[in-house]
Structure 1
Amino acid sequence: MSSTAPDRETFEAIEAYVLDRMPAEERAAFERRLAADPKLRAEMELERDQILAVELGGVRRVLAALGHEEPGRGGGRAPWSLLKYAAGIALLLAGTLWWFLRPSDNERLFAEHFTADPGLPVAMSATNDPVFADAMVSYKEGRYAKARAQWAPLLQREPQNDTLRYYTASTFLAEGDPEAAIPLLEPLATTDSTAFVHKARWYLFLAYVRTGAVDKAMALPVEKDPVRGERARSIKQRLGAR
């Protein structure tokens, strides 16, 4: 437990995350914060445990109330059938809460290693198109849906443009939608002729991990990445150890 309580905004964010009330884009950003901040991660785990304790405490009160009911006309026995029924509900509730609040192994791996691409410096963008530059500003500010909407007509006009495909995929990943990013990344990850090949392979690898496509993730030659190869090998070892 941390020595200081989180501020109200952080507490509300933790609560929304634990109760699965956070929009996909905010959830993805929060998971990146969790991956980078051990203190925040500890606060989240504490909040999750407290919510579970409150739920189970409510069930215990129901059980206690049933145990103290006055015997009915049929005799002085405690209502064992009701107690067994309530105990079954308690076990089911505990199991359900544990299951839904517990992130999967793939989600944990993704959260540990995913960091959104920071984007291009606007002054050094790969194009002089002001629409592209404006969209890149939106992207760098974390307004991923807006950036994607601004890039959409450019991508429609140039569907084979590597830069547009890569950064459009990046908006989906940053919003927590790897399924939408995968079709855009796959062509970039399979050719050495693009400057984005290594980054596309890395993010495609993480997208496969996040969506449970483990066989595809294991088949990607992401170990060749001069920057992220060691991390990729570590992830593959964890995937192979299951």
Structure 2
Amino acid sequence: MSNDVNIEQIHQYLFGEMEVTEREAFEAAMEKDEALQEAVRFEQQLLGAIEQSFEEQDRKNIEQVDRQLQGQGFFEVPRSMRRLALRVAAAAAVIALGIGIWWFALKPQAIGPALAFGQYFHPESAEVNGIIESLISVGFTPEMNRSDSLREALLRYREGGYQQAADALGAFLQDHPQNDTARFYLALAEMSLSQYESAAARLADLAQADGFEQQKQARWYLALCYLRLEGTLGPARRLLEELAEDSRFDKQLEARELLEKL
């Protein structure tokens, strides 16, 4: 592109501010200069995008301030400089808007505690199979009386029969009240049956039981249980904050995500 052509001339051409002879000369120069054609095309697209991104009221406000400054005796700013400032401001606004949209799209949207519970509560199933198999090896067989069979109760739990599982686990705990595994799965069965208060009471004990292998799971489910109880959102958050920082917790990412949504 010729050094004799500058952004001021391109603006004059695009805004129809050239005299006829100037316009004809400019168009003749464009026919011979591909770089000039590209510059004009780029500037036209940019100004069009800026025009669309600005609200009419914003443009009026800018024009009003400009007129006030001129009326108060401030120096006349070349039109191209005003347009350049407008372009820079608009570009910054478009970039900021894009960043805001990107951040809003990626940020987990806030949801209510009850809805959060529905999204994140899934009855534990990863470890129950191993527990059932281990009970066979230590003598808890299906032939035992059902009211005293932990294995039978966990089978009902695994099959989704939560009321049957809760009844069987409750009966088992009458004879074995300190069995943490039975207490844990009874609490989960109760959560599935919307019995949140009794489930929370059991899980609160298990969450403090240092020797319990599923202690962290108990804390996770306790936090979820708190989402369905009145006045316990604070304790739920505190539990989730601790779990979100625990790299050894298998649901660490879920805890972080849920915490951001509350």
SS state at 1:125 partner: helix
Q: CA deviation at 1:171?
A: 0.5
Counterpart selection for 1:143 from 149, 156, 161: 161
Counterpart selection for 1:190 from 168, 183, 208: 208
Matched, 1:156 2:174: yes
Report Cα offsets for 1:172-212 as digits up to 9, x if no partner.
11222222210110011123321010110110011012224
Counterpart selection for 1:124 from 134, 138, 141: 134
What is the rounded CA distance, in whole Å, between the counterparts of 1:149 and 1:191 in structure 2?
24
What is the rounded CA distance, in whole Å, between the counterparts of 1:197 and 1:161 in structure 2?
13
Matched, 1:216 2:227: no
Matched, 1:177 2:179: no
Amino acid at match of 1:215: G
What is the rounded CA distance, in whole Å, between the counterparts of 1:141 and 1:236 in structure 2?
31
User: Is contact 2:243-2:249 (8 Å) kept?
Assistant: no
SS state at 1:211 partner: coil
What is the rounded CA distance, in whole Å, between the counterparts of 1:191 and 1:180 in structure 2?
17
Structure 2 gaps, min length 5: 1-110, 142-148
User: Is contact 1:205-1:217 (8 Å) kept?
Assistant: yes
Match of 1:227 in 2: 250
**Percent identity at matched positions?**
27
Q: Which has the larger radius of gyration?
A: 2
What is the rounded CA distance, in whole Å, between the counterparts of 1:183 and 1:196 in structure 2?
16
Match of 1:207 in 2: 225
Q: In terms of mean alpha carbon deviation, does 155-164 or 216-225 score higher?
A: 216-225
Report Cα offsets for 1:22-58 as digits up to 9, x if no partner.
xxxxxxxxxxxxxxxxxxxxxxxxxxxxxxxxxxxxx
| Two-structure CA RMSD over aligned residues (Å) | 2.0
SS state at 2:209 partner: coil
Q: In terms of mean alpha carbon deviation, does 217-226 or 131-140 score higher?
A: 217-226
Does the C-alpha gap of structure 1 residues 115 and 218 become closer, same or farther in structure 2, counting only changes over 3 Å?
A: same
User: Is contact 2:153-2:169 (8 Å) kept?
Assistant: yes
Query: Which residues in structure 2 correspond to 1:22-33 (within 5 Å)?
Result: none
What is the rounded CA distance, in whole Å, between the counterparts of 1:106 and 1:161 in structure 2?
31
How many correspondences in the alignment? 136
Amino acid at match of 2:114: E
SS state at 2:122 partner: coil
Report Cα offsets for 1:127-176 as digits up to 9, x if no partner.
53231111111111111111121122321222221101101101111222
What is the rounded CA distance, in whole Å, between the counterparts of 1:169 and 1:159 in structure 2?
13
User: Is contact 1:106-1:211 (8 Å) kept?
Assistant: no
Match of 1:166 in 2: 184
Report Cα offsets for 1:41-93 as digits up to 9, x if no partner.
xxxxxxxxxxxxxxxxxxxxxxxxxxxxxxxxxxxxxxxxxxxxxxxxxxxxx
Structure 1 gaps, min length 5: 1-103
By relative contact order (CA 8 Å, sep 6+), the higher-ranking structure is 1
Q: CA deviation at 1:237?
A: 2.4
Does the C-alpha gap of structure 1 residues 199 and 125 become closer, same or farther in structure 2, counting only changes over 3 Å?
A: farther
User: Is contact 1:205-1:222 (8 Å) kept?
Assistant: no
